[in-house]
Structure 1
Amino acid sequence: MLDLTYESPKPKIISGATGDWELVIGMEIHAQVASQAKLFSGASTRFGAEPNSNVAFVDAAMPGMLPVINEYCIEQAVRTGLGLKAQINLWSAFDRKNYFYPDLPQGYQISQLYHPLVGEGEVLVEMGAGIARLVRIERIHVEQDAGKSIHDMDPNMSFVDLNRTGVALMEIVSRPDIRGPEEAAAYVGKLRQILRYLGTCDGNMQNGNLRADVNVSVCRPGQYEKYQQTQDFSHLGTRCEIKNMNSMRFIQAAIEYEARRQIAILEDGGKVDQETRLYDPDRGETRSMRSKEEAHDYRYFPCPDLLPLEIEQAWVDDIAASLPELPDAKKARFMADFGLTDYDASVLTADLADAAYFEAVVAEAGDGKLAANWVINELFGRLKKDAREIGDSPVSAGQLAGVIKLIKSGDISGKIAKDLFEIVYTEGGDPAEIVESRGMKQVTDTSAIEKAVDDVIAANPAQVEKAKQNPKLAGWFVGQVMKATGGKANPAVVNQIVATKLEE
């Protein structure tokens, strides 16, 4: 396991006109289940389809159509719960959440309020090398998504697209354990990473497949500790919910603005209204959307069309046995097996595809530290410059391993290796064959190197005298020899021969 120091959440302190205030944040993450069919119908979940083309009769609320649970969606939710070390409830039930909106054709959303599928869990959020915070998960419930209203196609009309209607969502509800904007973004990032490792959600925020509702309140120092002792939420102040956030950067900015807005109201003698707000990234501010409804406002009641959901422990155990190695465990293994730093291991395990690529390189090249250096600095750096993902890399793991093996064998120097990497990246080919055919192999013949050193020394007697007075100037001769040999001379051999010659 990772060697971590657990810290109590450190609140973001905001200084107001009448004293300090602390931030309290809870989050509801809506993660779209990675499934080809919807929660209660066989309609496709494909993104980008023609409007209203992925709609079954039950999604459109046609009379007499009854929902049928998609077992795979339930399996994905259980897998998520297990990945978050959460309690899996073998008995759960669906409820109807009633409200009217044009993109909700049924007039209600099927969700789980009273008996969710997944109970309490936790997410470990790293806030720097070796420092971690624990964010508690209150519950994960499964529900169907609503459709989408489009208002910008015609100034006089609104349009409704029901393609998302009925898509399976996992709503992951945290406790109010998050104490600052940076921690909120780190929590979403860690949760997204775990979901992608599990394969239960692709985490694609720009497509709306991962969205966050952020609950923000402010309180005076010491009030959070009273809440922890009493579990009385009144100590935390009135919360406002910022709806449908799909950007880490915007989440931080929205929290900052909302906290200062609430502080300004309170210090002016006013009262913060509990409400749902939206964040306007163009103006950098939140604005009121509607008053915040309580559960009774939605008139929840058990869904009469669905029996309670009962699952067997043996089925849960089978899912648990199939879980992949998760990010924290993989990072710890990379550090232990390959001697990587905390930073390098974090970079390489940030994405499952990146980690798999790195391990494939190590498996063939056999040097974890050298492989990490080349994957992070050379490959990732070039891919970022070209706006490419690892799956679209022009350099395969086998090709990069080939470059590294040539370095280890002494056939090429580090400088030549970078030239070789560029050739492989832009033109492709086998690294060993390229080195052979283009005469890039490093010169290790000591007699040839010695002659090059003698030539440089003979041509620069004044520099030789200076180097005798200041040995640090020997590096100048090394550089000249490398230049004379086109960078092909073995640097270690050059350094040794230059030092010997200068002493003579």
Structure 2
Amino acid sequence: MLDLSTTSPKPKVISGATGDWELVIGMEVHAQVSSSAKLFSGASTRFGAEPNANVAFVDAGMPGMLPVINEGCVALAVKTGLGLKAQINLNSAFDRKNYFYPDLPQGYQISQLYHPIVGEGEVIVEMGEGVARRVRIERIHLEQDAGKSIHDMDPHMSFVDLNRTGVALMEIVSRPDIRGPEEAAAYIAKLRQILRYLGTCDGNMQNGNLRADVNVSVCRPGQYEKYQETQDFSHLGTRCEIKNMNSMRFIQQAIDHEARRQIAILEDGGKIDQETRLYDPDKGETRSMRSKEEAHDYRYFPDPDLLPLEIEQGWVDDIAASLPELPDAKKARFMGDFGLSDYDASVLTAEVEAADFFEEAAAGRDGKLAANWIINELYGRLKKDEKELAESPVSPAQIGQIIDLIKSDAISGKIAKDVFEICYTTGRAPQEIVETEGMKQVTDTGAIEAAVDEVIAANPDQVEKAKANPKLAGWFVGQVMKATGGKANPKAVNDLVAAKLGL
């Protein structure tokens, strides 16, 4: 376990004209619940459907249509809370957040302001080996997504697609515990990883299924510590919210630009207006969108069409019992059971599919060797071909066969790479490749000794040089391997060369 009291990274410091400034960041992450139906209707959530194809009457705000809670979405929100070590509230309620926008046909969004389904939790964000930050989760609440306004189809008209209207979102609200752009990206990556392990959100940022509103403020060194002591947010400076970020790279860029913009204003004697801003990746800058609303601006009130949500502890316990092994636990197990390094274990647990692939390949085998073949050989080849692991032509079982052939001395490491290449391009089984292609390693010491004698006899000058400088014995090893087509057992060749040369 990491001792976070001693391993937390230092905050990002930006030097201004009048001294140093520190960044303070909080995030509101909107994660689309992995449900085939919407939060309050049976309409499909399938991505890529024709505009306005996935819309029920209640989603469109038709008169007299009443929302009906999707129990599956509630279960997945609870599961997410449990995965983030959060408090599950057995009693929660829905509220109406009132505002007008063309893609919000009801004229309000159903959300949970006063009584969220999930309370305080945490995410442990690793910032390098042995270094981590604990980011506190303030709450997770369920809410409806809005539709989408489209402005680029006709220069004189705007269009509205209501397919996303009513899709279930989990809004995961952090405390202002993030202290730099890199930490913000790492936090999103870790949160996405946990959600994907849990199966509660697919984490697809490109499709908008995971997006973040990023709150940024700057303060002088020492002010954050005062906030921690008093929980008085005034020590942190006025924050600005950057809306709808769906790229980790752009999140970092937006935070850096916004922090420097605020510092320049403050050092020029101005003040920061609390507002909502958008990030323009083409210009690399944030721009004002609107003044930042407070809760009272939305005239929140309890939704009269929905009863308070009451769940039983036994139901929560059943969900807790079904939780999968999460990334931190899996990483620790891989390091303990297979002897993997921190780096290798991190790579192999980054995605649940990669972890499953490794475990199948390494079952009953040398875990370090399996990790090496997957990370270096397979991942390297997939990257070259611009393929994902799910598209791999080589299966975990085939990786396992290659390892078995190496460990049994049937093939050398060099031959194994040739076997892998044939397997990758043809899909043939490694064992069959070795047999039919005549790639089996020569382990007959008599045959290897004959090859060594022949090379030594043909190169008397090199013999004298090698006796004077034992490092040159490698030349003989290379010649023997060449003479045997790379099939000779390398260890046997090295031992025989050394013995024959008297080294």
- Bin for the TM-score computed over the shorter chain: over 0.9
Looking at structure 2, the residues matched to 425 and 8 of structure 1 have their Cα atoms a distance apart, in angstroms, of: 43
1:51-450 matches, cutoff 5 A: 51-363=51-363, 366-450=365-449
Q: Is the 8 A contact 2:467 2:501 kept in 1?
A: yes
Aligned to 1:481: 480
Question: One-letter code of the match for 1:52?
Answer: N
Offset at residue 392 of structure 1 (A): 1.5
* Secondary structure of the structure 2 residue equivalent to 1:217: strand
How far did 1:176 drift? Answer: 0.2
* Per-residue CA distance 1:49-106 (angstroms, 9 max, x = gap): 0000000000000010000000000000000000000000000000000010000000
Q: Residues 357-397 of structure 1: CA distance to partner in whole angstroms, max 9, x if unpaired?
A: 0000111x511111111111111111122122222110111
How many residues were matched structurally? 503
Q: What amino acid sits opposite 2:120 in the alignment?
A: E
8 Å CA contact 2:7–2:130 kept in 1: the answer is no
Contact kept? 2:442, 2:487, Cα under 8 Å: yes
Q: Which runs of 5+ in 1 are unaligned?
A: none
Tell me the CA shift for residue 6 of structure 1. Answer: 4.9
Q: C-alpha offsets along residues 154-202 of structure 1, whole Å, 9 cap, x if unaligned?
A: 1111110000000000000000000000000000000000000000000
Q: Please state whether the residue corresponding to 1:35 is helix, strand or coil.
A: coil
CA deviations 1:411-434 (Å, max 9, x no partner) are 000000000000000001111111
Change (3 A) 1:310 1:249: same
Q: Is the contact made by 2:11 and 2:179 (CA closer than 8 Å) also made in structure 1?
A: yes
Distance 2:31 2:252 in 1: 19
In the aligned structure 2, how far is the partner of 1:338 from the partner of 1:449?
Answer: 35
SS of equivalent to 2:74: helix
- Give the Å deviation of 1:8: 3.8
Contact 1:26/1:216 (8 A) holds in 2: yes
The offset of 1:2, in angstroms, is 6.5
Q: Is the 8 A contact 2:123 2:134 kept in 1?
A: yes
Displacement of 1:3: 8.0
TM-score normalised per structure 1:
0.99
2:375 corresponds to which letter in structure 1?
A: I
Q: Deviations over 1:25-62 (max 9, x none)?
A: 00000000000000000000000000000000000000
Question: SS of the counterpart of 1:395?
Answer: coil
Query: Any idea what the Cα deviations from partners look like across 1:296-324, whole Å, max 9, x if unmatched?
Result: 00110100110000000000000000000
Measured on the aligned residues, the alpha-carbon RMSD in Å equals 1.1
| Residue 9 of structure 1: how far off its partner (Å) | 5.0
One-letter identity of the residue aligned with 1:486: G
| In structure 1, distance between residues paired with 2:6 and 2:171 | 26
Deviations 1:236-293 (A, max 9, x none): 0000000000011000000000000000000011111110001111111111111100
1:171 is paired with a residue of what secondary structure?
strand
Partner SS for 1:22: strand
Give the letter aligned to residue 481 of structure 2. M
CA distance in 1, matches of 2:231, 2:2: 31
Percentage of pairs with the same residue: 84
Counterpart AA for 2:247: S
Distance 2:464 2:5 in 1: 56
State TM-score, norm by structure 2.
0.99
Name the SS for the 1:100 alignment partner: coil
8 Å contact 2:39–2:166 — kept in the other structure? yes
In the aligned structure 1, how far is the partner of 2:267 from the partner of 2:213?
A: 26
For 1:277 and 1:482, how far apart are their aligned partners in 2? 65
For residues 10 and 209 of structure 1, the distance between their equivalents in structure 2, rounded to whole angstroms, comes to 31
* Contact 1:5–1:130 (CA under 8 A) maintained in structure 2: no
Give the match's secondary structure for 1:31.
strand
Paired with 2:387 and 2:422, the residues of 1 have a C-alpha distance of 18
* Contact 1:4/1:130, CA 8 A, preserved across alignment: no
1:7 Cα deviation after fit: 2.8
Q: Whole-Å Cα distance in 2 between the matches of residues 395 and 212 of structure 1?
A: 36
Tell me: CA distance 1:336–1:3, structure 2 relative to 1, closer, same or farther (3 Å): farther
Q: Does 1:467 align with 2:438?
A: no
SS of equivalent residue, structure 1 residue 56: coil
Query: What is the rounded CA distance, in whole Å, between the counterparts of 1:216 and 1:385 in structure 2?
Result: 38
Structure 1 CA distance, aligned partners of 2:60 and 2:133?
A: 43
Cα 1:297–1:9 shift into 2, 3 Å: farther
Tell me if the contact between 1:122 and 1:135 (Cα under 8 Å) persists in the aligned partners. Answer: yes
Supply the distance in 2 between the matched residues of 1:154 and 1:502 (Cα, whole angstroms). Answer: 83
The answer as to 2:49 corresponding to 1:49 is: yes
**Equivalent position of 2:491 in the other structure:** 492
Residues in 1 aligned to 2:3 and 2:86: alpha-carbon distance in whole angstroms = 22
Residues 5 and 131, structure 1, Cα contact 8 Å, conserved in 2: no
Q: How many Å apart are 1:5 and its aligned residue?
A: 7.2
Q: Which amino acid aligns with 2:266?
A: L
Alignment check: 8 A CA contact 1:216 1:240 kept: yes
Distance 2:176 2:484 in 1: 64
Q: Does the 8 Å contact 1:87/1:119 carry over to 2?
A: yes
Q: Which runs of 5+ in 2 are unaligned?
A: none
What amino acid sits opposite 2:160 in the alignment? V
8 A contact 1:98–1:108 mirrored in 2: yes
Secondary structure of the residue aligned to 1:316 is helix
**Kept after mapping to 1: 8 A contact 2:28/2:172:** yes
